[in-house]
Amino acid sequence: MNEPWWRSAVFYQVYPRSFADGDQDGVGDLKGLLTKVDHLSDLGVDAIWLSPIFPSPMADFGYDVSDYCGVDPLFGDLDVFDEVLAAVHDRGLRLILDWVPNHTSIDHPWFKDALTGPDAEHRDWYVWRDSAPDGGPPNNWVAAFAPVPAWTRDPASGQWYLHHFLPQQPDLNWANPAVEAAMHDTLRFWLDRGVDGFRADVINCIGKDPALADAPENLAPLMHCVLNDEPGVHPLLRRIRSVLDEYPGDRMMIGEVALLDPHTVAAYYGDGDELHLSFNFMPLHGPWRADTWRANIATTEDGFRAADAWPTWVLSNHDVPRHRTRYSRWPHEPVDAEGSLQRTRAAATLLLTLRGTPFIYQGEELGLEDAVVPAARVVDPGGRDGCRAPVPWAALPPHGWPTPSGIEPWLPFPPDATDLNVEAELTSPDSVLALYRRLLAMRRGSRALQHGTYEPVDAPDGVLAFRRFDAESSDERMVAVNFTDDAASVEFDNRWDVELASDDTDTTGPFDGKLRPRQAVVLRRAAG
Ligand code: NOJ
């Protein structure tokens, strides 16, 4: 069977500021990434999603782009980028870039020109409107990060420009064909260099209601990016897809569709002619509970099946607290560090056995929690510093982040960095890192886990069980996840052997139906 590579791939998100520091200035960069490509290839992932590296004033840490066709000097230059891409490809991995199509930075030459006045060549490249009759913003849309209007008034012209995010991130006007053509060219720039695709930032926002009508009153307090779902986005996506299709080699795009209902999200795959994949963010916002997960998986399977779309799964990213942190606090039962690591290990087992493409966020393979960031070191306007802490590579401070002047990295390290770091975890067969390696190797070796169907299986309260089956190869796995802090018993048809247990390396052989607290197991059919 000839499946596109991104269906069986496991992606790994690199947030470059915090991954590895090659030039020893306390901020991660491409040289640093270059030295760690082997970590990713040894881990067993297939593809890297690299968060933005483009020139940027960094108001939103790279999601405010001032040049789509370059590399910010903080991260390196195009030559180092080419080295990274070659190193990734040499190891048989793929690399996708983070494309930010909805907005530029206010420092982008297009916006600087737009600001010169209503007759500027690039004025209509952004979304401008006159004041509402009361002199306020043109509509009731709310920006992300702070509950403020999604509009900023330009004192010179008296008009307002739209920004779904910070005022430093003006929205592009994709209804203008010149914008569309210029943005297509930015894709071609990187495709020509050989990238394998893109993660497209808040792609749902590029289609705008031509009337820019008010949001319904009951929803209006929400940041408008989670409401923005316009039919006009679909022709735009089809034409973006055509650009990717101009290139050989299965280039792909995963969209950040910032909408929560999987039925709506699935529509962004079109008839197989829009996005190749889309994020599915339900798990980022739900608790670690069997019933919630069972329902989320059912809704995803249902919504995506209707559109013949391939699902994706993610537990953490650079925008939300890490799942170890989320699953250790309210509404979850208090748990000690060991218990919290066990929940994390069970969650990893779930992530890597579900039907769909998994995305790992850097450092989750180490079991990291969010850093505690003192007020004096807070830098992100969206309150997301904790999950963006530097990855500890070595046990001893500065954990692989030395600087000649001894300055600390741009954010503090996560807790327990002397135990939870790559160096220490590589030598321990019981580490979270060792578990991720086992899970990834197991997934790679199983057609059922990579491509098979998902069938929910009856299990007691607090336990999620499902069967994965690939008819072509008859490969089959059963997965059982005990979300509770108590032991549980399950009964399955047929006899099963334990292939992997989330909490230790010794549990193998026949499965006796017993699950330890916070334990997940992957089972294969017993012979005979
Ligand atoms: C989504 C990105 O993941 C987030 O980090 C960013 O702040 C917004 N889009 C705006 O680009």
Q: Residue 307: what pLDDT? A: 85
Q: What is the mean pLDDT of residues 117-143?
A: 98
Mutate-to-test residue for ligand 1 from 17, 56, 61, 63, highest number of ligand atoms within 8 A of CB: 63
Q: Residue 3: what pLDDT? A: 87
Q: What is the mean pLDDT of residues 28-47?
A: 98
pLDDT band of residue 354 (cuts 50, 70, 90) is very high
pLDDT above 80 for 528 = no
Q: Is residue 246 annotated as part of the catalytic site, yes or no? A: yes
Q: 477-503, pLDDT tens digit by residue?
A: 999 999 999 999 999 999 999 999 999
Q: 402-423, pLDDT tens digit by residue?
A: 999 989 999 999 999 999 999 9
Question: Angle, nearest 10°, between helix axes 30-43 and 432-444?
Answer: 60
pLDDT above 60 for 1 = no
pTM: 0.98
pLDDT band of residue 454 (cuts 50, 70, 90) is very high
Q: Residue 74: what pLDDT? A: 98
Print the SS3 string covering 18-77: HCCCCCCCCCCCHHHHHHHHHHHHHHCCCEEEECCCCCCCCCCCCCCCCCCCCCCCCCCC
pLDDT cut 90: percent of the chain above it:
96
**Residue at 344: amino acid letter:** T
Coil, strand, or helix at residue 126? strand
C-alpha distances in Å from residue 352, one per residue of 56, 356, 441, 516:
34, 9, 10, 20
C-alpha 62 – ligand 1 centre gap (Å): 9
Which atom, in ligand 1's list, is nearest to the CA of 384? 5
Q: What is the mean pLDDT of residues 371-398?
A: 98
Quickly list DSSP for 430-445. Answer: TSHHHHHHHHHHHHHT
Q: Is residue 201 annotated as part of the catalytic site, yes or no? A: yes
Average pLDDT over the chain reads 97
Q: Residue 506: what pLDDT? A: 85
Q: Which residue has the tokens 């505690």?
A: 372
pLDDT above 70 for 225 = yes
Of the residues 246, 308, 504, 506, only one is catalytic, namely 246
pLDDT band of residue 281 (cuts 50, 70, 90) is very high
pLDDT above 90 for 5 = yes
The ligand 1 site (C-beta within 6 Å) comprises 60, 63, 100, 165, 201-202, 256, 318-319, 382
